[in-house]
Amino acid sequence: MKIMEAVDGIKDKLMEIRADFHNHPELSFKEERTSQIVAEALREMGLDEVDTGIAKTGVVGLLRGGAPGKTFALRADMDALPIQEENDVPYKSQNDGVMHACGHDVHTTAVLGAAMILASMRDKLKGNVKFIFQPAEEVAGGAKIMVEEGVLEKPPKVDAIIGAHVWPELDAGTIGVKAGPSMAAMDKFEIVVTGPGGHGAKPHLTSDPVVAAAQIINALQTIVSRSIDPIRSAVLSVCMIQGGHAFNIIPREVRMVGTVRTLNEDVKTMLIAKVKSILKGISEAMGVEYEFNYLDGSPALVNDPGMIELVEKAGAAIVGSENIHQLEPSMGGEDFTYFVKAVPGAMFNVGSRDEKAGLTSQLHRPTFDVNAKTLTTGVAMLCQTALMYLDA
**Which DSSP string corresponds to 168-210?**
EEEETT-EEE--EEEE-EEEEEEEEEE---EETT-GGGS--HH
> Does 137 participate in catalysis according to the annotation?
yes
- Which of the stretches 94-102, 141-149, 325-333, 354-362 binds Ni ion when contact is defined by CB under 5 A? 94-102
Q: Are 103 and 370 in contact (CB under 8 A)?
A: yes
Candidate residues 7, 102, 118, 390; the one interacting with Ni ion per rule CB under 5 A: 102
3-class secondary structure, 189: strand
**Distant-in-sequence, close-in-space partners of 313: CB < 8 Å, separation ≥ 6:** 388
Nearer to Ni ion, 102 or 340 (CB): 102
- Closest chain position to Ni ion (CB): 102
**Distant-in-sequence, close-in-space partners of 44: CB < 8 Å, separation ≥ 6:** none
Check residue 350 for interaction with Ni ion (CB under 5 A). Answer: no
CA 317 from chain centre, in angstroms, equals: 26
Q: How far apart are CA 216 and CA 192, in angstroms?
A: 11
Question: Across the strands, what pairs with 62?
Answer: 49, 130
- Which of the stretches 39-47, 63-71, 98-106, 185-193 binds Ni ion when contact is defined by CB under 5 A? 98-106
Task: Give the shortest CB-135-to-Ni ion separation in angstroms.
Answer: 13
Task: Give the shortest CB-293-to-Ni ion separation in angstroms.
Answer: 26
- Cα dihedral across residues 145, 146, 147, 149: positive or negative: positive
Check residue 136 for interaction with Ni ion (CB under 5 A). Answer: no
**Which DSSP string corresponds to 22-33?**
HHS---TT--HH
Question: Across the strands, what pairs with 189?
Answer: 258, 294
Check residue 80 for interaction with Ni ion (CB under 5 A). Answer: no
Q: Which helix (H) or strand (E) holds 349?
A: strand 345-353
Check residue 111 for interaction with Ni ion (CB under 5 A). Answer: no
Question: Across the strands, what pairs with 34?
Answer: none
Nearer to Ni ion, 79 or 312 (CB): 79
Which residue in 31, 137, 312, 335 is the catalytic one? 137
Size of the site for Ni ion (CB under 5 A): 1
Residues 17-36 that bind Ni ion (CB under 5 A): none
Task: Give the shortest CB-139-to-Ni ion separation in angstroms.
Answer: 11
Check residue 271 for interaction with Ni ion (CB under 5 A). Answer: no
Nearer to Ni ion, 161 or 282 (CB): 161
> Does 40 participate in catalysis according to the annotation?
no
Nearer to Ni ion, 110 or 220 (CB): 110
- Which of the stretches 10-18, 97-105, 306-314, 351-359 binds Ni ion when contact is defined by CB under 5 A? 97-105
Nearer to Ni ion, 17 or 102 (CB): 102
Amino acid (1-letter code) at residue 178:
K
Closest among 332, 188, 209 to 258, alpha carbons compared: 188
Which residue in 79, 159, 253, 312 is the catalytic one? 79
Nearer to Ni ion, 102 or 186 (CB): 102
Q: Which residues are catalytic, by number? A: 79, 137
For binding to Ni ion (CB under 5 A), which residues are involved? 102
